[in-house]
Amino acid sequence: MAFALAGAEVIHYSNSGGAFQLQSASPRLLHPHVYEWPDLGSLDLRAGLPILDWSADPAGEVIKRLKKEFEAAQVHLKSSLVSKPGTLESVAAGKHGWELTFAGTADLVFFSKVVLAMGFGEEAVLPGAETLGYWSPGNLSAAAIEAAPEVTYLLSGTGDGGLTDLMSLLIDDFQHVAFAEEVLGRFNGDALTRAAEAAFAGQTLDSDLKSAFDTHIRPALAAAEVSAWLQTRLRMDRRLTLNSSGPVFAFGRAARLNQVLAYAVLEAATDAGRPVNLTRGTVESITVEVKERSVAFKTGGPGTVVADHAILRHGPETAARYACAKVQYDAYLAHLKITLRNKPELGVPPRLDPQTFKFFDERRISALVQGPAAADQTNAAARGEATVLVGVDEASKRLFEKGRVSLADIAERCERGDPYEIHLVCSPSEFPEAEALVRLAAASAGRITLSADATVQHDWSKLSAHITAQPPPVISYRPVALPVVNLDRTIDLCLLRLLDRGLVSVVATSKVPGVGVLSPEIAGALSATWMTWRTELVANPVLCSSFLRWLYSVDPHGRTPWSGDHVATADLVAALVYMLATHLGEKLHPASPGRGNLELVDRGVALGSGCRSLANEELRDRSDAEQWGVEALILAGTSEVDIVEPFDRLGADAASGSLRAARRVKPALIQNSKAWSRRLAASLSEWTAAVEAEFAAMRRRQKASLEEVTKS
């Protein structure tokens, strides 16, 4: 179907049984990602394919829907995708491409490209073994109680089929995905994920994982009390012998999730005093007696094992299935063996490239979808391309993101980037930077919108009424771990850019927002100082954060960051102009001394801010120097602050009369009053003289206070 959508003419051959013959009536659950654990998204129900997409369901139901979609596509694609019955007999390279022959005819059929998608084949059958095909309706966990008090089983094989049957035999009412979710759900955070990553790290194909599991997995299971819980689920009416030709847990020979789950079950059985008997060997024959089976081994093993049931999971006879293309199949196996030994990471299921997804999704809509549905799906695809989804992965318990770009990229561009939606499927308590994310959206000036899943929208609405409940977007990109983005820092850098822009406008127009005219002479002297300050702020994130927080708010604790409101930046630009202009008469530089954001030459502290008011207090009500705790105030958001000279507050010990502390004098005060705004419009010399006089008066007050203390 993909080739047909890409413009090729395709003939699809299937034998008399049709496609998916083995799975078409199977009740066994198909899950698109569960074998990818501990990777992110391993419990996602949707496969995430641009064509013939499917979701976790019993195999028979999945196949039914896939066939229906395939047949509907053929109606639209007409001659580009034709199905014919045929059983392939041979394939060989010829002069004009590939030459194929089919059963019932000697005619050659020529093709430019051939895709052999004939499945893995049916399981090997040994006389005397149970005839429970992997896809057969038989369910090993179906019997509520065995007919005899304790029925014995020999299970041979430790691939995915064998390990799944192991759990099905030992766990009461076993359902694969539900059981996996139950086990994973017993862990707080990503403890099991981290343990699994440590256990699988550095392993090579076929290496024995038992020691690594004992070191890493078992402690994690113990901490979550998984063994005790599993013991309540163990079937006490069955005894099991598990045979393998190599290590029970061989790296690369079964899905990592199945290996960890089976290990947990085996450990629980041992802890319960009902250990599984482990043997290693190759089964040679099975002799059926009256009520039991005798299993003989030709290599290894205990010689003979007698059991009520014998189940072989030695894998499908894939070579037999591909006998018609033996030369090509053998070459493929040889290449695969070398590749996986050199790069074992390639054994992990591949991920579809996002551009490939987009390519086929666009062609699917244009070729197969008509009417309003086409517009709806095109819009949905466009939304998916312009959305980043953020949530907590159900399997690994880790924060993830998925989208065309990352949250960090969106944050970095903030007010400068393309419009993006951030869709949240986690609660604010699960996202450490929740409050900063709300500020980021505000700082973007409409370029970033926040939406949330209906299940968590109420929690997010407490932070912002602008976060609405929306259905989840259809995003083709696979989830990736969400790193610590440090949104506070990206917002600080956004504010620096806005201050840059505002200052450039001030210098160009000689007008200060909320203040008035600025002398061109003073304006021309501001840029060089700002360049120096800005370089310091960009290089020092801690200093930058402190500087900007005080610039935005005179919160006595310095904990109120910029809300992201662009309207407020006019006051901040005005404050910055006053601060830079003050530097022309009294040298200042950015600092984070505790109660302010500037330091004087003599190490005094100054506070420069565009703040207009506090939540529960007007700035004009702060008339006591102790309330400010600085030597200088530069305030662009007010003209009404009036700090009175304090009364003597000399703390003395009543008995000795010794001095404990001296009073804080009235600070130098430059605010957005008529007097100071007129000086900004005057000459540079007049401005600097006024600044020098203001700071000189403050130092005289300090000197007088010190003299009083000395006299005392």
How much is the pLDDT for 493?
Answer: 97
**Which of 133-142, 232-241, 249-258, 600-609 has the lowest average pLDDT?**
133-142
**Which of 42-56, 451-465, 671-685 has the lowest average pLDDT?**
42-56
pLDDT of 625 > 50? The answer is: yes
Q: What is the pLDDT of residues 96-154, one digit of tens each?
A: 899 999 998 888 999 999 999 888 767 778 888 876 766 665 556 555 556 677 899 99
How much is the pLDDT for 593?
Answer: 85
What phi and psi, each to the nearest 5 degrees, are found at residue 695? -75, -30
Q: What is the pLDDT of residues 6-30, one digit of tens each?
A: 999 999 998 866 667 667 777 777 8
pLDDT of 50 > 60? The answer is: yes
Give the pLDDT band (50/70/90) at residue 654: very low
Q: Mean pLDDT, to the nearest integer, of 341-363?
A: 85
Q: Mean pLDDT, to the nearest integer, of 54-64?
A: 91
Q: Is 655 exposed, middle or buried (0-12, 13-18, 19+ CB in 10 A)?
A: exposed
pLDDT of 657 > 50? The answer is: no
How much is the pLDDT for 647?
Answer: 55
d(CA 429, CA 618): 33
How much is the pLDDT for 145?
Answer: 59
pTM score above 0.95: no
How much is the pLDDT for 156?
Answer: 93
Contact 140, 173 (CB under 8 A): no
How much is the pLDDT for 711?
Answer: 75
Give the pLDDT band (50/70/90) at residue 661: very low
Q: Mean pLDDT, to the nearest integer, of 245-253?
A: 94
**Which of 35-39, 232-236, 424-428 has the lowest average pLDDT?**
35-39
Q: Mean pLDDT, to the nearest integer, of 182-203?
A: 93
Spell out the residues 6+ positions from residue 499 whose beta carbon is closer than 8 angstroms to its own. 569, 572, 573, 576
Q: Mean pLDDT, to the nearest integer, of 398-419?
A: 94
- Give the residue among 529, 530, 528, 521 at the shortest CA–CA distance from 502: 530
Rounded alpha-carbon distances, angstroms, from residue 711 to 653, 655, 662, 700, 706: 16, 18, 12, 17, 9
What phi and psi, each to the nearest 5 degrees, are found at residue 612? -95, -35
How much is the pLDDT for 175?
Answer: 87
Q: Mean pLDDT, to the nearest integer, of 441-448?
A: 97
Chain mean pLDDT for the chain? 90
Q: Mean pLDDT, to the nearest integer, of 255-274?
A: 96
Question: Domain locations in the chain?
Answer: 1-121+323-347, 151-315, 369-485, 496-648+657-711
Q: Mean pLDDT, to the nearest integer, of 318-326?
A: 90
How much is the pLDDT for 288?
Answer: 86
Residue type, 470: Q
Q: Mean pLDDT, to the nearest integer, of 425-450?
A: 97
3-state SS, 544-611, equals: HHHHHHHHHCCCCCCCCCCCCCHHHHHHHHHHHHHHHHHHCCCCEEECCCCCCCEEECCCCEEEEECC
Q: What is the pLDDT of residues 545-556, one digit of tens each?
A: 999 999 999 987
Give the pLDDT band (50/70/90) at residue 653: very low
Residue type, 474: V
**Which of 207-211, 518-522, 644-648 has the lowest average pLDDT?**
644-648
- Give the residue among 233, 224, 234, 226 at the shortest CA–CA distance from 275: 234
Contact 443, 552 (CB under 8 A): no
Q: Return the structure tokens found at 114.
A: 């051939």
pLDDT of 651 > 50? The answer is: no
**Helix (H/G/I), strand (E/B), else coil: 140:** coil
Q: Return the structure tokens found at 647.
A: 């009364």
d(CA 590, CA 162): 67
Contact 397, 480 (CB under 8 A): no
Under DSSP, the state recorded for 641 is: -
Q: Residue 364 CB: number of other CB atoms within 10 A?
A: 22
| Residue pointed to by tokens 């505002």 | 502
Q: Do the bridges between strand 304-307 and strand 293-300 make them parallel or antiparallel, or are there none, so unpaired?
A: antiparallel
d(CA 390, CA 392): 7
How much is the pLDDT for 142?
Answer: 52
pLDDT of 652 > 50? The answer is: no
- Using only C-alpha atoms, what is the Rg of the chain? 37
**Helix (H/G/I), strand (E/B), else coil: 363:** helix
Contact 212, 417 (CB under 8 A): no
Full strand arrangement of the beta sheet holding 304-307:
304-307, 293-300, 277-288, 238-244, 151-156, 309-312
Contact 523, 581 (CB under 8 A): no
Q: Is the dihedral of CA 639, 644, 650, 654 positive or negative?
A: negative
Which one has a higher pLDDT value, 511 or 304? Answer: 511
Contact 284, 295 (CB under 8 A): no
Q: Mean pLDDT, to the nearest integer, of 156-162?
A: 92
Q: Mean pLDDT, to the nearest integer, of 214-221?
A: 98
**Which of 218-227, 255-264, 344-353, 561-570 has the lowest average pLDDT?**
344-353
Which one has a higher pLDDT value, 25 or 50? Answer: 50
Helices (H) and strands (E) in the chain, counts: 23, 30
Strand segments (E) across 453-545: 468-469, 480-481, 511-512, 516-517
Q: Residue 134 CB: number of other CB atoms within 10 A?
A: 19
d(CA 468, CA 460): 9
Task: Provide the b/e sequence for 322-348 (b: ≥16 CB within 10 Å).
Answer: bebbeebbeeeeeeeeeebeeebeeee
How much is the pLDDT for 346?
Answer: 82
Share of the chain above pLDDT 90, in %: 66
- Give the residue among 601, 596, 670 at the shortest CA–CA distance from 630: 596
pLDDT of 427 > 60? The answer is: yes
Rounded alpha-carbon distances, angstroms, from residue 269 to 125, 223, 568: 29, 17, 65
- Give the residue among 637, 617, 636 at the shortest CA–CA distance from 627: 617
